[in-house]
Each structure stands twice: as structure tokens, then as C-alpha cells.
């Protein structure tokens, strides 16, 4: 029975999302936060993706223009950002300085391009020798370095700026409030770090480190990335929070969350409890008590994910949470931001999801938004990993079933201009998680663990990876060729629809012959998924057994012998494949494999049978493509017979039509017809038994070949006495005449 029919739980939320989006457009659609006590994983992921996409779409709508892309940013490599920002919560104004430390990666570099929103003001850009000239084109600032750099040369300049960040409902930097008090925060994913600080806003060049200095009112507290070095008075009414992020970080993962937080801490112990790392929580006052039991699970979740993924990547710094007004969650490096207006941002699954991002999304970041599933799919899979570690395989598989997605679209994001496509809960989150889950099923536990370990320690650690990079690492670590898997599941659409049929019968050799036919009936691409699938055989009087088979064709026949008969067969009983399946009663099927027919010899009688089972037995059998070897024909029982007159490989497709039962089947076969080897002994043909002489025994062998058992001859040139190319009655007549009548000399050996 198909699992598609079991997906009714999240229907209400899905319908609400579709109706509101269709009526109002994505820029105004609002989806209520689901209740973490009743939500399915898919509901949670749709909401998480929706919140990220909604804010950025609104910001774009306000801009009413496309972001201009920088063109030469690969000419320089950012090493460090030293960032100072004054945040005025009263005027809602930012005043900042960003010091760029970078190296040229080409010779003759005289200018660099910086991403920075045109709605923000550039005060000045200052290099080692003074002010630098610059120009602006919408969101790109081109800085003239005043010198020419060669590859490897370092350079530093300070970029001074100010302004009120772009807004429009949920902008990338928000001056908001919670409970009547300020709540200020950022969410820059995917493109909008540039909207509130100047940077090289791309994932494939992470700065090696960040120095972060945020000045805020003394009534507020600032949470940010990395290690909090100090809090120092900046004025009579403000303080500066000094953080250092020692690990490489993508620009969109730099964040601030500012509010009158309650701050409380836990410890994560590791290295056999010999070392500890702080976990720092920044929570709204009204959620403080609640957070102790919910966010309080973080050390346990981190322990379980570390056991599967490798050590938490930022052990020398911290992990933590900070409430913000966006809703949902955002995996800012070492400091996840969580919605603070409902229990959603405190739920265990959301905590596991955002923590999973610290490995997959933060430590290894997708190299482009086309590969966003490497972030969101892996983080969604981290939820299931946590439940597996805590509750076992049944809970794990049940949780994965909560992420079933059977709709259109590829996991690989084919439209990165559409933030709704990037953050598709169905594709990037749910089906992305299923890709990881199915990869585990295909590889098995040991090889999957080898792949994860290799990916964790790969050249992409603290860098960025593409889908191809990920596949390449797993292939190298496991020794498996995985191109087919990624072609089907990452770049392909939909899912396999399996129809399967089985029967058993007592075998002449003992035990039972088991026949299984598996069809793939989907009409979408790919029309054939090549994934191995488990089949459980429920034996008539035994414990049953599970076999892994590969139904990698539109119709695939399997047959094998087992000691016991079977009562039932279940496809993918543990749910390792995102599929739908239907079991059917056996009909009428061809049960010979395509390469199973015996080969033959030219001029020698041939007989073999295309076997079939089931139906009424009253078939019409035809060749619908290709051709049998010349001289052969097939009857309505599937018997192929005759005397081949040519040599070579002959491929053909046979169609069986059972008219009374309305069953039909077809299959492709190949028969090879070879010439007999030349073994004639001088001086003449006719010495069929190779005795050195021609006598009555040779006649007997030829009679047997022609009229009795049709046993093939050893050599066709010994029996083809007249050289016609066919061994027939004429050859027998010549040999009899030689022996008993005229003793006419026989033809010489060739």
C-alpha cells in the first residue's frame, strides 16, 4: 500500500499556506507558527523556510530593483573583517567602520568591488596612505586601491558608513520590539549582509576571522558570534561588546541580537569529560523560565550529534541561542537566533535543526544557493539523527516519514533569484533530508560513517562545497560510484512508483522457485530510479528474510530458489526509499531473462523456450521488434526452433498476449549464432566421430542428428557434406551412398 495516502496530518497548515500565498503573493503571505507539540517535521520546515524567504522577499519588494552583482570579486581573498558598529535604538541608525584585510589573487590588481546597499551612505574609504577614491553602481562600491597589487600581496582599508538599513516588514536588519522594549537583530541569509554592512557578500570566500565591536545602550545586551572578550563602557549611556570569531565565517552568518536579555549558561563536556565549552542562552524575560527546560536540552543534543557528525566545530568558542523577532530560527555561527514570540523557537526539533547547521551550513557552507540542500537538508536530517540516538530506529524512521515529499522540483535549486525556491521547505529541507537518509541506506552504516567523517575532515571544512564536491568526497571515502544516485535524487524529480508481483512454485531441484516482477510506472523524470530496495519475504513456515534487490528498469524480473515458499512480499519495509508501492496478484509474466536463451550454431537444429508463468495459457506470441535468427521461428508457447542459416547476435522483443485473461507481457532477448569450428581431417569430409575413417558410426550420428535427439554435431564441416551451409537429408543420402552404393569419393576438406 502506498505511503502517499498517509500524509494527511499537515494538510490544514499546507492549505493555509497555499491559499494565502495564492491570494496575496509571497511578499504578503503570513503563515502562523505551528504548535511544536503537534507539528510534523514537514510543517516545521515549511515554516522555517517561509520565515527566511518572507523577510527577504519583502526587503526586495521595497527596493523595487534587482541587486547588482559584483564582477571581479574573485580577484581578492578576504582574510579578516574588523567591524565596529554603533547601534542607536532611538534613532534607528547605524554608524560603522569595517576594516578589510585581504590579499590579491591576481597580478596587477588596482581596484576591488565591495557589496553595499545603495540606501546606506558611504562616508569615506581610507587606505594606508589616506583616502581612497571609489564609485558606486547600485549595490556595488568599486574601491580604487591607489596602487597595483600582485598575487599574494596584502592590503588593508577602512570603510566608514552610516544609515538606516532597508526595511519593509521583515528586513535584513530590524529595529523591532518585544513586550514594549527594544529588540534589534539581523538575518542576512541569503544575499543581504550587504544591506547593513559593507562586505564581500558571498559564501565561497569566508574571512578567516572576525573582530566584532557593537556599541549599544546600557539597558540592552548584545549577543553575537564567537567569544565575548569584554564589555566596556563607551559613553555614559552605552557599552561596547567585543567579540572575536576565530573560525572562518560566511558573511550571512555574522549576526547581532540586541535586547534586554536574561543570560544564562550551561556547559558542554567533551573529550571524555576532560574539557568543557560554554553554552550561552540569551532569552527574553517572559520566556526565561520556559527556556530552562527546552534550550536546556542543548548539551544532550550536541552530544548526540557530535557522536554522528564529529566534534562540534567551534569547541574553542561557544554555542548559544538568542531570541529575536523574526520567527523561526537562523543558524548564525556559534549563536543561533530563535523566534521569541511562541514556543516554536524553543522546541526540541528546532534546537536540533539549528544546532545541526553548525556542522552543515556553518562549518561547511553551500558554495552557491543552488546547493542550499547541503545546508537545509543536512540540518533537517540532524533532527532525525538526534531522535535515532535517543529513541532508536523505529522513531528515526517514523520521523523521516514525517518529511515525505512527493511533489515536483529538484533538490538542486534551479532558480536562485527566487528566495521562495531557495528556502523551499519541501525540496531544500524535506527532500534534501531524504537524500541524506537514502544515501545512508544505499551505503550502509559503515560506509556512510566513513563518508561523513571524510566530509567533516575534507578540504571544505571551514570553507564552501558544491553538490559535486560532496559527492566526490563520499565516492572517495566509500569506493562507491554515486553519480547515478545524485542524478536520480538531487537533479531528478518526483519519486519511483513501484508495482510488484510475486509467486512461488516447487522447484525440480528442491525448495521453491520464487519469481518477483517489479515495475516502475512513474511518468515523470527520471522514469527509472536505480536505487537498491529492500524486499521482505514472509515465508510460509519460517522467520522470513530481507533481500536487497535493484529494480533499475521499467520492468525487472528477479528469480531465486529458497528452501520455503512465501506468503507475502513487502517492498522497502523500513522506509529507506522515498517511494510509493503497490503489491499485486501475479498475472502472466515472461520468466526468462534477456540473456538466458541458449546460443546456437549455424546449420544445426536449435530449440529453446521463452518461459512464462500465469494467465490462461492461451497466448498469442509475436516478435514486435528486432528479428529472430534466419531459419528460426517462435510458436504460441514461446518455443523457438529451426535451423539457423546465418551467424551473429540477434536481438528481438517478444510479446505475449493472453487474450482470455487480458494479460500481456514483453521482454527483450538476444540469441547468438556461431559457426561451428572447422575440424575436418584430410582428405575428405564425413568423419563425423573423428575416428580417422568414415564408417557406419558416422551415418548413425548423422541420422540421430536429423531424426532423433537432434544432438548438435561436433563440427559442422564434417556433417555438411555437400557444402550447402545446412546439414540436412541430402548430406545423409551422400554419406549412405558412399558407404553402401557407389563409394563415390567425398569432397575434400577445405
Nearest to 348 by CA among 296, 389, 294: 294
Please provide the average confidence, as pLDDT, over all residues in the chain: 89
Give the burial string for 557-586 (b: 16+ CB within 10 Å, else e).
Answer: bbbeebebbbeebbbbeebbbbbbbeeeeb
Give, in order, the Cα–Cα distances in Å from 402 to each of 10, 38, 423, 433.
Answer: 9, 12, 18, 11
Least confident of 29-38, 506-515, 516-525, 606-615: 29-38
Confidence label for 14 from pLDDT (cuts 50, 70 and 90): very low
- Please report the pLDDT score of residue 682 as a whole number: 65
pLDDT in tens, 532-573: 999 999 998 888 999 999 999 999 999 999 999 999 999 999
- Please report the pLDDT score of residue 705 as a whole number: 78
pLDDT in tens, 17-69: 332 333 333 434 455 677 777 888 888 888 888 777 765 565 455 443 344 55
Cell of 67: 541587486
Least confident of 36-50, 267-281, 524-538: 36-50
pLDDT in tens, 464-495: 999 999 999 999 999 999 999 999 999 999 99
- Please report the pLDDT score of residue 710 as a whole number: 64
Residue that the C-alpha cell 555574522 belongs to: 254
- Please report the pLDDT score of residue 66 as a whole number: 40
pLDDT in tens, 179-231: 999 999 999 988 889 999 999 999 999 999 999 999 999 999 999 999 999 99
Residue 367 or 66, more confident: 367
User: How far is Cα 398 from Cα 742, in angstroms, rounded to an integer?
Assistant: 88
Provide, rounded to the nearest whole percent, the portion of the chain with pLDDT above 90.
Answer: 74
pLDDT in tens, 111-164: 999 999 999 999 999 999 999 999 999 999 999 999 999 999 999 999 999 999
Characterize the bridge pairing of strands 555-562 and 588-590. unpaired
Residue 247 or 58, more confident: 247
pLDDT in tens, 344-362: 999 999 999 999 999 999 9
- Please report the pLDDT score of residue 712 as a whole number: 66
Confidence label for 314 from pLDDT (cuts 50, 70 and 90): very high
| For residues 508-513, average pLDDT | 93
- Torsion over CA: 738, 739, 740, 745 (sign): positive
Residue that the C-alpha cell 514461446 belongs to: 638
- Please report the pLDDT score of residue 603 as a whole number: 77
Provide, rounded to the nearest whole percent, the portion of the chain with pLDDT above 70.
Answer: 89
Residue 650 or 697, more confident: 650
User: How far is Cα 34 from Cα 349, in angstroms, rounded to an integer?
Assistant: 12
Indicate the SS3 state at residue 708. Answer: coil
Query: What's the order of all strands across the beta sheet hosting 512-520?
Result: 555-562, 512-520, 497-506, 580-584
Q: Is 271 exposed, middle or buried (0-12, 13-18, 19+ CB in 10 A)?
A: exposed
pLDDT in tens, 654-704: 999 998 888 999 999 999 998 766 666 666 777 777 776 778 888 888 888
- Please report the pLDDT score of residue 397 as a whole number: 97
User: How far is Cα 208 from Cα 456, in angstroms, rounded to an integer?
Assistant: 18
Give, in order, the Cα–Cα distances in Å from 696 to each of 88, 631, 728.
Answer: 116, 30, 18
User: How far is Cα 676 from Cα 129, in angstroms, rounded to an integer?
Assistant: 91
Nearest to 108 by CA among 147, 160, 51: 147
**Are 323 and 261 spatial neighbours (Cβ–Cβ below 8 Å)?**
yes
- Please report the pLDDT score of residue 317 as a whole number: 98
* Distance, CA of 542 to chain centre: 37
* Residue 502 β-bridge partners: 516
Least confident of 282-286, 437-441, 518-522, 596-600: 596-600
Give, in order, the Cα–Cα distances in Å from 503 to each of 53, 88, 542, 655.
Answer: 51, 76, 17, 21
Write out the H or E segment, with its range, that includes residue 428. Answer: none
Nearest to 258 by CA among 94, 483, 26: 94
Least confident of 10-19, 346-355, 698-707, 726-735: 10-19
- Please report the pLDDT score of residue 21 as a whole number: 34
Amino acid at each position: 500500500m502506498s505511503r502517499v495516502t498517509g500524509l494527511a496530518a499537515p494538510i490544514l497548515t499546507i492549505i493555509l499556506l497555499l491559499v494565502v500565498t495564492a491570494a496575496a503573493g509571497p511578499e504578503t503571505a503570513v503563515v502562523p507558527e505551528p504548535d511544536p507539540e503537534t507539528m510534523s517535521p514537514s510543517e516545521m520546515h515549511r515554516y522555517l523556510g517561509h520565515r527566511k524567504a518572507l523577510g527577504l522577499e519583502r526587503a526586495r519588494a521595497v527596493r523595487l530593483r534587482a541587486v547588482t552583482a559584483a564582477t571581479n570579486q574573485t580577484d581578492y581573498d578576504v582574510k579578516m573583517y574588523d567591524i565596529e558598529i554603533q547601534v542607536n535604538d532611538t534613532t534607528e541608525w547605524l554608524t560603522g567602520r569595517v576594516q578589510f584585510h585581504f590579499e590579491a589573487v591576481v597580478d596587477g590588481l588596482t581596484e576591488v568591488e565591495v557589496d553595499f546597499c545603495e540606501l546606506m551612505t558611504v562616508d569615506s574609504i581610507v587606505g594606508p596612505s589616506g583616502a581612497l577614491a571609489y564609485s558606486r553602481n547600485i549595490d556595488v562600491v568599486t574601491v580604487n586601491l591607489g596602487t597595483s597589487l600582485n598575487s599574494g600581496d596584502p592590503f588593508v582599508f577602512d570603510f566608514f558608513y552610516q544609515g538606516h538599513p532597508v526595511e519593509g516588514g521583515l528586513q535584513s536588519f530590524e529595529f523591532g520590539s518585544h513586550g514594549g522594549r527594544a529588540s534589534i537583530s539581523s538575518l542576512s541569509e541569503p544575499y543581504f549582509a550587504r544591506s547593513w554592512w559593507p562586505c564581500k557578500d558571498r559564501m565561497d570566500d569566508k574571512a578567516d576571522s572576525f573582530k566584532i565591536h557593537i556599541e549599544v545602550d546600557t539597558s540592552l545586551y548584545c549577543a553575537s558570534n564567537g567569544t565575548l572578550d569584554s564589555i566596556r563602557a563607551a559613553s555614559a549611556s552605552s557599552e561596547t561588546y567585543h567579540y572575536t570569531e576565530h573560525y572562518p565565517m560566511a558573511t550571512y552568518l555574522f549576526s547581532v541580537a540586541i535586547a534586554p536579555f536574561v543570560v544564562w549558561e550551561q556547559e558542554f563536556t567533551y573529550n571524555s569529560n576532560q574539557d568543557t565549552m560554554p553554552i550561552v542562552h540569551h532569552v527574553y524575560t517572559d520566556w526565561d523560565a520556559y527556556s530552562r527546560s527546552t534550550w536546556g536540552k542543548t548539551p544532550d543534543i550536541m552530544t548526540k550529534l557530535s557522536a554522528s557528525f564529529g566534534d562540534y566545530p567551534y569547541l574553542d568558542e561557544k554555542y548559544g541561542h538568542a531570541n529575536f523577532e523574526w520567527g523561526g530560527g537562523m543558524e548564525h555561527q556559534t549563536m543561533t537566533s530563535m523566534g521569541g514570540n511562541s514556543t516554536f523557537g524553543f522546541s526540541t526539533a528546532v534546537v536540533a535543526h539549528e544546532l545541526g547547521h553548525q556542522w552543515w551550513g556553518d562549518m561547511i557552507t553551500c558554495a552557491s544557493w543552488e546547493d542550499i540542500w547541503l545546508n537545509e537538508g543536512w540540518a533537517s536530517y540532524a533532527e532525525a539523527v538526534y531522535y535515532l540516538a535517543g529513541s532508536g530506529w523505529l522513531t528515526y524512521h517514523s520521523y523521516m516519514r514525517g518529511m515525505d515529499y512527493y511533489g515536483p522540483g529538484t533538490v538542486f535549486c534551479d532558480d536562485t533569484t527566487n528566495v521562495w525556491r531557495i528556502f523551499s521547505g519541501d525540496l531544500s529541507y524535506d527532500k534534501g533530508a531524504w537524500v541524506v537518509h537514502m544515501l545512508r541506506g544505499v551505503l550502509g552504516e559503515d560506509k556512510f560513517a566513513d563518508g561523513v567523517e571524510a566530509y567533516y575532515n575534507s578540504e571544505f571544512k571551514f570553507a564552501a562545497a558544491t553538490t559535486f564536491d560532496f559527492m566526490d568526497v563520499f565516492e572517495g571515502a566509500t569506493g562507491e560510484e554515486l553519480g547515478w544516485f545524485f542524478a536520480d535524487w538531487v537533479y531528478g524529480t518526483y519519486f519511483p512508483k513501484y508495482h510488484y508481483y510475486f509467486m512461488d512454485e516447487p522447484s525440480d531441484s528442491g525448495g521453491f522457485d520464487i519469481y518477483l516482477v517489479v515495475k516502475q510506472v512513474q511518468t515523470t523524470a527520471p522514469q527509472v530510479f536505480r536505487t537498491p530496495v529492500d524486499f521482505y519475504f514472509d515465508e510460509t513456515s519460517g522467520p522470513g528474510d530481507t533481500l536487497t534487490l535493484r529494480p533499475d528498469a521499467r520492468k525487472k524480473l528477479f528469480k531465486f530458489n529458497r528452501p520455503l515458499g512465501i506468503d507475502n512480499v513487502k517492498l522497502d519495509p523500513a522506509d529507506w526509499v522515498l517511494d510509493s508501492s503497490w503489491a499485486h496478484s501475479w498475472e502472466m509474466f515472461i520468466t526468462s531473462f534477456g540473456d538466458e536463451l541458449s546460443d546456437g550454431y549455424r546449420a544445426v537444429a536449435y530449440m529453446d523456450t521463452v518461459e512464462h508463468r500465469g494467465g490462461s495459457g492461451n497466448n498469442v506470441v509475436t516478435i514486435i521488434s528486432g528479428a529472430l535468427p534466419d531459419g528460426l521461428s517462435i510458436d504460441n508457447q514461446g518455443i523457438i526452433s529451426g535451423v539457423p542459416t546465418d551467424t551473429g547476435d540477434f536481438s528481438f522483443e517478444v510479446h505475449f498476449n493472453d487474450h482470455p485473461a487480458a494479460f500481456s507481457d514483453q521482454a527483450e532477448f538476444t540469441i547468438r549464432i556461431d559457426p561451428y569450428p572447422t575440424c575436418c581431417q584430410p582428405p575428405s569430409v564425413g568423419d563425423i566421430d573423428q575416428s580417422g575413417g568414415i564408417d557406419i558410426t558416422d551415418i548413425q550420428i548423422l541420422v540421430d542428428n536429423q531424426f532423433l535427439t537432434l544432438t548438435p554435431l561436433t563440427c559442422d564441416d564434417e556433417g555438411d557434406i555437400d557444402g550447402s551451409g545446412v546439414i540436412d537429408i541430402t548430406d545423409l543420402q551422400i554419406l549412405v551412398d558412399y558407404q553402401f552404393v557407389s563409394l563415390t569419393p567425398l569432397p575434400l576438406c577445405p
